[in-house]
Amino acid sequence: DGGITQSPKYLFRKEGQNVTLSCEQNLNHDAMYWYRQDPGQGLRLIYYSQIVNDFQKGDIAEGYSVSREKKESFPLTVTSAQKNPTAFYLCASSPHIPRTGETEQYFGPGTRLTVT
Amino acid sequence: AQRVTQPEKLLSVFKGAPVELKCNYSYSGSPELFWYVQYSRQRLQLLLRHISRESIKGFTADLNKGETSFHLKKPFAQEEDSAMYYCALGGTGKLIFGQGTTLQVKP
């Protein structure tokens, strides 16, 4: 069940600490995405990247940062500025650079982050 | 503004009953609609997309531009259909997801 991997599965941090979530894909996909999944709120887009060394803010980027130095990797840092960081984080990738249309997104298994 | 609305948080039916998961969207351009499904302990995955007009696991969805809807239907629900279902809107360079509907199929 490879393709997109996220690590770790569970992550615990103290309030005030930055934490980085890993996302790697071996599908040779151009685009990668980070979502946050909260009960009753669906999936909300944090950041996305359509090509290496470029990324755009999604709907809830405040308190988060990303990098895309390699095609296969798109790590997400949850900073201490994120007011409500405890959530389930999903990474996804898609095979083409979205322009006017969309292609299927492939999702990772997720990381559950708990901040206390 | 682009938006996807799934009005039901939970839909509970008995095995063999028809199922309809509602999805309405708001988008002024040419929409691309998808249904994604998340079974227990599994990854979120694509169920179907409107451009392919195919039936997957007995599910179908028709894009109704007049009513701006993309409801997911299945004539006879099975227990293995129990999952979280998300409707998603594309055509904007990114996907916009609805809040999700949990489908519970009781034996």
Give which of A105, A106, A111, A112 to mutate to test B binding, by max B Cβ within 10 Å: A105
pLDDT band (50, 70, 90) for residue B37:
very high
Strands A4-7 and A19-25: antiparallel
pLDDT of residue A101: 54
Q: Encoding tokens for residue B83?
A: 């999952």
Q: Which of B34, B41, B46, B54 is nearest to A106 (CA)?
A: B46
CB within 8 Å: A107 and B44: yes
The nearest CA of chain A is from the CA of B75 a distance in Å of 26
Q: Does A102 lie at the interface with B, CB-CB under 8 angstroms? A: yes
The percent of residues in chain B predicted with pLDDT above 70, rounded, is 98
pLDDT over 60 at A1, yes or no: no
A49 in reach of chain B (CB within 8 A) = no
* Contact residues on chain A for B30, CB-CB shorter than 8 A: 100
Residue among A40, A100, A109 minimizing CB distance to B43: A109
Cβ-defined contact of A45 to B96 (cutoff 8 Å): yes
| Cβ proximity of A105 and B46 under 8 Å | yes
pLDDT band with cut points at 50, 70 and 90 for residue A92: very high
pLDDT more than 90, % of chain B: 75
